[in-house]
Amino acid sequence: MLIPRDRLRSRVRVARLIVFLPLLFISPAFVNTCFFMFFHLSWRSRITFVFGLSVSLAVASTRGQVISPPFVAGFERFARHGDLSLAEAGDLLVSELSCVACHESANSQLTPKRGPTLVGTANRFSEKWLREYLNDPSEKKPGTTMPHMLGHLDDVQRQTVINKLVSFLGTQKKPFQTVRATGAVAVMHEFWNQGDPLRGRNLYHTVGCVACHQPDAKQKTNQTAPTAVDQMISQLDTDELEELGLLRAARRVASVPHGDLVGKYTRQSLTMFLLRPESVRKAARMPNLRLSPSEAADVTAYLLSEKGSEISSKETVVDPAMVSEGKALFVELQCSNCHDATDVASPRMATPWEKLNPEGKHKCWTRPAAAMPYYKLDELQVDAIKSVLKSESMTAEINAAQWVHSRMLQLNCYACHQRETELMKDGGTGVLGGVGRYRKPYFEMVQQVDLGDEGRLPPPLTGVGSKLQPKALKAVFDQRTPAYRRHMKARMPAYHATAVEALVENLPVADRAGKKSESTVFGNADESLFRAGHELSGTGCVECHYFRGESLPGVVGLDLAGITTRVRPEWFHDFVLDPGALKNRTRMPTFFPDGKSNRLDLLDGDVDKQIASLWFYLKDLASQPLPEKIEKVRSQNYELRPVDRPIVLRSFMQDAGTHAIAVGFPEGLHYSYDSEKIRLASAWKGRFIDARGTWFERFTPPAEPLGESLMHFPQGQPFATLDRKDVRWPAWEDQAKWYQFRGYRLDAQGVPTFLYQFAQWQIEERIVPMGQRGLRRQWNIKQEGINAAAPRDESVTLNLCVHQAIKLTRNSGAQVDGGGLQTRLVKLPQGVNGSGDRIIKDERGERWIVPVNGKDQQTVVVEYAW
């Protein structure tokens, strides 16, 4: 199989080369532009365009030089199309190309991105790749933001320098961090070798990688119908699009190039990078997609379609002289300005940024004569940077909105999120960003439910600073925060706090977040508000939302638990009042058309109070009842409802302990039995029991009776042997050794009969409802053999405790009441004729006990009514 496939592949490669040879000189961005234009031009223009394209191709091929300017996502997407002012574009390039890593500046907006840390390079990258990359970074990795640092050297000199640098980098070893396995995180042995490329391919195309990187056109997506706008866009030509202001939405977004991953990484190093990109690239341009170890291995297996590089773990002979020369060069060539390495001298700075002359003799964008960086910028990029250099206002304070905009460009938040932004070039505002129409198909929901784009695309961030509470905003970026929009396959990446500080601080200011406290907006909570909130949430919210993990069937939406710690009270008020006003085209409907409530019966129809009631109900959701409809569904799934036959459930219960057996009857009478201490523990009427905790909860909460008229039965075992003069009922602890629970048997109707042994007596106990009034309890007692425990003394007899309460009242010979329970002896044990029974007292109160003839088979029946 392998050989033919390889051959086939090489043939295809040759075919590709022949067919597309002329196109080899074009940058990805250029290709994008071409195709975008091509498809949106009229026919006549297309012909002209093709002609022009051929000419420029011819020109490019005669130049014989690779044009591969650095790829900066925000620049490609926005600056090239005039969405940014030249100064904004310049600022972005200055930070992304790390200009001020050498040309120091106090302007924090220009903070250099810097390159990845090179500590550990020796374990991470193949040496061959490193050599090729140093030889000419942008040739090895088109679009790289790393400048050519050896452009001033001839081939021979360059090889010598590379040898030295590589020798030095070979000393940069750092073992990969150990990935801790826990009960929650599976970590296979050498998990980086265990990836599954198919799973990796799916992850790559769904969790968010393709927001920035190139999707594979072959990847199947769940074809979600394009939105009306997208449909329209596909039918319009450029002029029409421009007229309608849709050019930006129609545009194809270029992808951040991967470079030669196979030649560069080992499976382990790429897996570890995907798992924790921030450990290598602190600037977080590549964010942490919250992959599990096995997921990171899967994506690696997909990306390194071939096996990836091998890095020999064997120690190679190192020439110390080469290493130390390499180390000196690392500083000398200003590598250390952008890259951390262990044990290197402090970086060599160049002319401070503010003192640079854009028209001076030495420029970083022309091939240098001496050692200095060489960025292969194109004309627009040079102009943009020059505009920053010339700018007078360079050190001027920028406002919060500009900070947000600038940071979102740098981190490429716009790849996923839309946000309305001031456009400095013309002073107006416009919506920038979003996943773009060609990438939308890769954003899917976990289940196939049509919630439109809102259900599958990352949320727009217009106004987000006035929506989220500061803590919640910060938490969005925190790796420990669980996913909020669980219905989406795409994941919000995690960022280190320092990477997003500017956003967390400036978003609320930029969006003019209100500072009103909860009590200013909603007043104070009270019982009537809780009740109204419970009622209101059940009429609309439940159709689309979860409530602490519970929902109506088929509902896909956000869980409202915790919402009051997430959004600001003012925003909640305004949003619930009129969702569309805060969020364009949201699926959330208004429940207050024209600002009026249609529930005039609740809180006098006061809209503000009704919204406040929702807020307070949700705030207290953990201890509030679920909305009724949800409660009903829940009970359908987990409430045990005996219809034809009794239902038995073994569980932990408050009354009946850890050996509880609950029995429910269709008559609506139910009881719990403690099979450890062998006693009827409690009984109740109405609904039986909810089994969810018993069936499906790891932490085994006690099962709670659902009905009413809960009756607690006496403590203590049913039988004991007593001397006629005994006035104390023995404690269970002293009797336990004589008792043995033996299980139960179900009769044809499904009614259990409990079986147990007390000393030498085998006892069967059966409890059934007595209409709606109470329970009928029957014991069959049989002596089996002579046990050492048998009381030989004639004065010692078997006794049954029929009732126990603080105070007992004898109603008639056969009925004793107490503790809310009427107890009647229906079938007397032999030997009892109304006089043998007695009431004894101990510290627990009074007990009604009946002597039982222990020699013959006996049946005793008692009725309990309450």
Report 687-706 residues binding another protein (CB under 8 A).
691, 694-700, 702
Q: Measured from the CB atom, is 586 or 753 closer to another protein? A: 753
Query: Smallest distance, Å, CB 679 to another protein?
Result: 15
Q: Is 46 exposed, middle or buried (0-12, 13-18, 19+ CB in 10 A)?
A: middle
Q: Measured from the CB atom, is 378 or 578 closer to another protein? A: 378
d(CA 719, CA 777): 14
Query: Smallest distance, Å, CB 642 to another protein?
Result: 12
Choice from 233, 649, 832, 849 touching another protein (CB under 8 A): 649
Q: Which helix H or strand E contains 393, and what residues bound it?
A: none
Which of the residues 665 through 684 are near another protein (CB under 8 A)?
Answer: 675-676
Contact by Cβ (8 Å): 308, 270: yes
Instruction: Determine the length of the chain.
Output: 866
Query: Smallest distance, Å, CB 577 to another protein?
Result: 30
Q: Measured from the CB atom, is 698 or 792 closer to another protein? A: 698
Choice from 7, 14, 17, 55 touching another protein (CB under 8 A): 17
Contact by Cβ (8 Å): 737, 754: no
Query: Smallest distance, Å, CB 634 to another protein?
Result: 10
Query: Smallest distance, Å, CB 837 to another protein?
Result: 31
Which of the residues 729 through 758 are near another protein (CB under 8 A)?
Answer: 740-748, 755
Does 622 bind another protein (CB under 8 A)? Our answer is: no
Choice from 14, 15, 106, 349 touching another protein (CB under 8 A): 15
d(CA 500, CA 477): 8
Query: Smallest distance, Å, CB 676 to another protein?
Result: 7
> Of 538, 521, 515, whose CA–CA distance to 612 is shortest?
521
CB neighbours (10 Å) of residue 429? 12
3-state secondary structure at position 792: coil
Q: Is 662 exposed, middle or buried (0-12, 13-18, 19+ CB in 10 A)?
A: buried
CB neighbours (10 Å) of residue 215? 17
The Cα angle at residue 486 between residues 592 and 288, in degrees rounded to 5: 125
Which of the residues 265 through 324 are near another protein (CB under 8 A)?
Answer: 294, 301-302, 305-306
Query: Which backbone phi and psi does 250 adopt, to 5 degrees?
Result: -85, -20
471 Cβ contact partners less than 8 Å away, ≥ 6 residues apart: 565
728 Cβ contact partners less than 8 Å away, ≥ 6 residues apart: 840, 842
Query: Smallest distance, Å, CB 715 to another protein?
Result: 14
d(CA 860, CA 799): 11
Query: Smallest distance, Å, CB 248 to another protein?
Result: 19
Choice from 131, 474, 650, 712 touching another protein (CB under 8 A): 650
- Segment near another protein (CB under 8 A); pick from 213-221, 603-611, 677-685, 711-719: 213-221
Contact by Cβ (8 Å): 831, 823: no
Choice from 183, 320, 428, 785 touching another protein (CB under 8 A): 183
Query: Smallest distance, Å, CB 263 to another protein?
Result: 7
Q: Measured from the CB atom, is 608 or 639 closer to another protein? A: 639
d(CA 661, CA 672): 6
- Segment near another protein (CB under 8 A); pick from 3-11, 241-249, 464-472, 778-786: 3-11
147 Cβ contact partners less than 8 Å away, ≥ 6 residues apart: 97, 137, 364, 373, 374, 375
Does 186 bind another protein (CB under 8 A)? Our answer is: yes
CB neighbours (10 Å) of residue 112? 20
Give the tokens for residue 74: 């925000």
Q: Measured from the CB atom, is 292 or 391 closer to another protein? A: 292
d(CA 416, CA 153): 42
Does 216 bind another protein (CB under 8 A)? Our answer is: yes
Which of the residues 806 through 865 are near another protein (CB under 8 A)?
Answer: none
Query: Smallest distance, Å, CB 731 to another protein?
Result: 14
Q: Measured from the CB atom, is 742 or 855 closer to another protein? A: 742
Q: Measured from the CB atom, is 292 or 324 closer to another protein? A: 292
What mask of x and - would describe binding to another protein in positions 24 to 43, judged by CB under 8 A?
A: x-xxx--xx--x--------
- Segment near another protein (CB under 8 A); pick from 4-12, 109-117, 401-409, 422-430: 4-12
Contact by Cβ (8 Å): 700, 652: yes
Which of the residues 431 through 460 are near another protein (CB under 8 A)?
Answer: none
Choice from 104, 127, 196, 726 touching another protein (CB under 8 A): 196
3-state secondary structure at position 132: helix
Which of the residues 491 through 550 are near another protein (CB under 8 A)?
Answer: 548-550
Which of the residues 333 through 362 are near another protein (CB under 8 A)?
Answer: none
> Of 308, 290, 283, 197, whose CA–CA distance to 482 is shortest?
290
Query: Which backbone phi and psi does 641 adopt, to 5 degrees?
Result: -125, 100
Which of the residues 62 through 81 are near another protein (CB under 8 A)?
Answer: 66, 68
- Segment near another protein (CB under 8 A); pick from 7-15, 564-572, 604-612, 823-831: 7-15
The 3-class secondary structure across 432-461, one letter per residue, is: EECCCCCCHHHCCECCCCCCHHHHHCCCCC
Query: Smallest distance, Å, CB 295 to another protein?
Result: 10
The letter for the amino acid at 850 is V
Which of the residues 218 through 247 are near another protein (CB under 8 A)?
Answer: 218
Number of residues lying near another protein (CB under 8 A): 89
- Segment near another protein (CB under 8 A); pick from 17-25, 328-336, 375-383, 788-796: 17-25
DSSP state of 282: T
Does 23 bind another protein (CB under 8 A)? Our answer is: yes
Query: Smallest distance, Å, CB 148 to another protein?
Result: 14
Q: Measured from the CB atom, is 8 or 727 closer to another protein? A: 8
Contact by Cβ (8 Å): 754, 766: yes
Does 50 bind another protein (CB under 8 A)? Our answer is: no
Choice from 19, 622, 786, 788 touching another protein (CB under 8 A): 19
d(CA 846, CA 820): 14
Q: Measured from the CB atom, is 419 or 487 closer to another protein? A: 487
Choice from 44, 189, 515, 725 touching another protein (CB under 8 A): 189
Q: Measured from the CB atom, is 448 or 835 closer to another protein? A: 448
Query: Smallest distance, Å, CB 48 to another protein?
Result: 20
Q: Measured from the CB atom, is 496 or 548 closer to another protein? A: 548
The Cα angle at residue 513 between residues 473 and 109, in degrees rounded to 5: 65
Beta bridge partners of 801: 849
Residue-wise burial string across 251-277, b where 16 or more C-beta atoms lie within 10 A, e elsewhere: bbbbbbbebbbbbbbbbbbbbbbbbbb
H helices, E strands: number in the chain: 31, 21
Which of the residues 103 through 162 are near another protein (CB under 8 A)?
Answer: 139-142
Query: Smallest distance, Å, CB 548 to another protein?
Result: 7
Q: Measured from the CB atom, is 572 or 739 closer to another protein? A: 739
For 825, what's the count of Cα atoms within 13 Å in the CB-facing half-sphere?
Answer: 28
Q: Measured from the CB atom, is 23 or 558 closer to another protein? A: 23
- Segment near another protein (CB under 8 A); pick from 228-236, 388-396, 649-657, 795-803: 649-657
For 26, what's the count of Cα atoms within 13 Å in the CB-facing half-sphere?
Answer: 18
Contact by Cβ (8 Å): 706, 688: yes
- Name the packing angle between helices 197-206 and 293-303 (round to 10°): 100
Q: Measured from the CB atom, is 17 or 318 closer to another protein? A: 17
Choice from 82, 257, 625, 851 touching another protein (CB under 8 A): 257
